[in-house]
Amino acid sequence: MPDRTPPPLLKTLATPMIGADDKERLPPWEQLTELYRIDPHIIAAAALLAAAILPYLEGNRGKVMAVAVVLAVQLLIRLIADTMFRRRVPDAAFKPWLFGFILVSLLSGIAWGLSLAILYLGSGPQAQVVVLAVGCGIVQSCAARAYMAPASTALVILIMIGIVNVAALSEGDWLMIPICLAYVAFQASYMTRLVELEQARQAAEQKTGKLVIELAESNEKLRQANEQLVRHASTDGLTGLANRRSFDNRLQAEVEEAHSLGSLSLLLLDVDHFKRFNDTYGHLAGDECLRRVASMLRDECAVHSHYPARYGGEEFAVILPKADHKEAEAFATGLLSKVSMLDLSGIAEPSDPLTISIGLACLEDGDDGAHALISRADQGLYAAKQAGRNCARTVERMQDVT
């Protein structure tokens, strides 16, 4: 169960600024920008000057002038602080500006308290009531912003009430003490609740942020898993080349494109005497042999943007997009040479080189699709086997291209 116990009053009000010490959050510059604004102080000064009307009408013009001077100095200090804050360097440290705000806040509290005390002293009852009402309004306005800076807000309120109490006691108004104590207790409870709500909001926001990050990470893992499933579904497990299913799909797409855009050739390759190789060196060596042939095919096809695949067993296929018969013959001849030089160290004797047979076919006008191309390439492969292997043949020409 979550701990719902309200934070201790003193601990809450001692917090310089909500969120400022949270290591997992960015410094709350937005809150500090709001706290540095001069607008609320202009409104407070206007309210105090309005409260000075009755003392002024009572003939206390000197105290009104004194209040005007105090408020002018206070507003000038706030204006300078606000201007400096807005012109700070982009990478400014947070804490110096936080403590700067606390300092000007205390000066504001002193200025407001002095203004209220000056207007209270020697004024008539009606004027004193108006002054206290304005003071309560300023205190309430400060308390409403306590969720951002509890410590400075509490000090400002205590300073204002303390100065006004001293003025009241100097005139023998002892009743102000219990009234102010009750008012301070009310404001402290109000401020504590505001701080508690802000802390709960920030905790919820932080939890939401973590959940969003976790969701993004889960989505990324799911995307990677889906990509891996797609790769597994389209890749031959032994050689890492495209499997038969991927080959069929790719060839059909290339045939459809070639009918309108250009040439297309296909090679079917078969490792010669592979059963004898397996019987001589074992199936593990046979698997490694196929992997090395596949690696060679992958490298050669990457240079020419061709598409290699494992067709089945010891057979491979290569799709040559936009390649005509001459280009296909040249590529097939190169593969024959590469296979004969293939390094089989560790799996076969050097005296027993590997060879392949290749069937070659090019897409012709009138072909009804991929089936016709595969059929002619397969016939070419059979012809290469019949011709003694280690060669490439095409049924259209029936000649050795080695």
Q: Which of 254, 314, 315, 329 is catalytic?
A: 314
Would you report the helix, strand and coil content of the chain in percent, each value rounded to 5?
Answer: 65, 10, 25
Region at 322 (left for phi over 0; alpha for psi -120 to 50; beta for the rest): left
Which residues have CB under 8 Å from 326's CB, separation 6+? none
Closest by CA to 28, choosing from 232, 177, 229, 199, is 199
Supply 350's token pair: 């050097």
- Tokens 């706290």, located at residue: 35
Q: How far apart are CA 300 and CA 293, in angstroms?
A: 11
Q: How far apart are CA 154 and CA 84, in angstroms?
A: 25
Q: How far apart are CA 143 and CA 230, in angstroms?
A: 60
Q: At what angle do helices 150-170 and 176-234 cross, to 10 degrees?
A: 170
In order of 21, 36, 211, 216, the CA distances from 24 in angstroms are 9, 24, 14, 18
Sheet (strand 307-312) strand order? 307-312, 315-321, 264-271, 356-362, 392-394
Q: How far apart are CA 212 and CA 197, in angstroms?
A: 22
Assess whether 214 carries a catalytic annotation: no
Give the catalytic positions in this structure: 314
